[in-house]
Amino acid sequence: MKEEILTRVIRVIRGFSESYNRNPVIVMKTVDRYFRFGLVLGCLTVLAGCAGRKPDSITVFAAASTREVMERLGADFQKETGVAVTLNFGPSSGLARQIEHGANADLFLSADESWADYIADKNLVAERRDLLTNKLVIIVPADSARLIKTLADLTQPEIHRIALAGPAVPAGTYARKALEKAGLWDQLKDHVVEGSDVRAALAYVTRGEAEAGVVYATDAAGSSKVRIALEVDMKLHDPIRYPLVLLKQDSPQPAARRFYDYLTIPHAAQVFTDAGFGTAP
């Protein structure tokens, strides 16, 4: 395209030179003709540029435990603003490492503070705020009659497998700390089956492949195939907070900032609350 325009300009210049030597009137007509041509060409170029532009879009990396609420809010935001929201879910540990290695992300919603701290240490954070809170619970299959009144009941001989998220995953870290502080980890560690994230731990119980599991209250609330047998005492583990991170970019991303703020408006807070999350003060 650029070469074609340059060729036309050269032809115009040559035409001016030749015409001027013959008749000044011809020159003026030539100038007028090419001026009109330039206007048309300019308009076509602008229109082509507009047609080729992609609408604003953002990419959000979010902890697996937030899948349903973030899908809902991403769709609501896109409907209201026209900004497309691409969501990537997984364990906070894996998402943070992807961001560290240059993954294309505008925001990061972590299930704990340590992985937000991790990317902050890499100088990748533009802004950050605590967004949500959660609770840890013991679950059993919905059709199970097993009673678990204390964490010590997990040592019952009928419980052969206990599903936990992996040790690097926030839900797994909280669960291990709680069991360690309760003095039960050494008795239970050989019965643990690990999930890649908290949803994988939940799946072990929903499929009947584990007699019990330790997940977030919000995960249990979202499944009809499990029931909550016990809420874990919050004193046994660190507070469960979900930091929302606006990631640094080479150039300003207004759409990312807009969604960052959108997740704190009353509508978003209600969606989170309805799903069982607490909102951070």
Q: Digits of tens for pLDDT over the chain (281 positions)?
A: 434 444 444 454 444 444 444 444 444 444 354 444 444 344 434 344 443 334 589 999 999 999 999 999 999 999 999 999 999 999 999 999 999 999 999 999 999 999 999 999 999 999 999 999 999 999 999 999 999 999 999 999 999 999 999 999 999 999 999 999 999 999 999 999 999 999 999 999 999 999 999 999 999 999 999 999 999 999 999 999 999 999 999 988 999 999 999 999 999 999 999 999 999 98
pLDDT of amino acid 56: 87
pTM of the model: 0.78
CATH of 57-133+240-279, one of 1.10.10.10, 3.40.190.10, 3.40.50.720, 2.40.50.100: 3.40.190.10
Q: Among 132, 168, 156, 148, which Cα is nearest to 226's?
A: 148
Q: What b/e readout covers 116-140, taking b as 16+ CB neighbours within 10 angstroms?
A: bebbeeeebbbebeebbbbbbbbbb
CATH of 136-236, one of 1.10.10.410, 3.40.1190.10, 3.40.190.10, 3.40.50.300: 3.40.190.10
- Cα distance between residue 167 and residue 173, in whole Å: 5
Q: Among 280, 264, 249, 248, which Cα is nearest to 73's?
A: 264
Residue with tokens 């929201």: 85
- Cα distance between residue 166 and residue 101, in whole Å: 21
Q: How many other C-beta atoms can be found within 10 angstroms of the C-beta atom of residue 207?
A: 11
Torsion of CA 64, 69, 73, 76, to 10 degrees: 130
DSSP sequence for 92-146: HHHHHHHHHTT---SEEE-SSHHHHHHHHHTT-EEEEEEEEE--EEEEEETT---
Token pair recorded at residue 127: 């802004």
With a CB cutoff of 8 Å and minimum separation 6, the contacts of 170 are 63, 91, 92, 93, 110, 111, 112, 114, 115, 198, 240
Query: Residue 241: what are its φ and ψ, rounded to 5°?
Result: -125, 145
pLDDT of amino acid 37: 42
pLDDT of amino acid 48: 40
pLDDT of amino acid 281: 86
Domain boundaries, the chain: 2-52, 57-133+240-279, 136-236
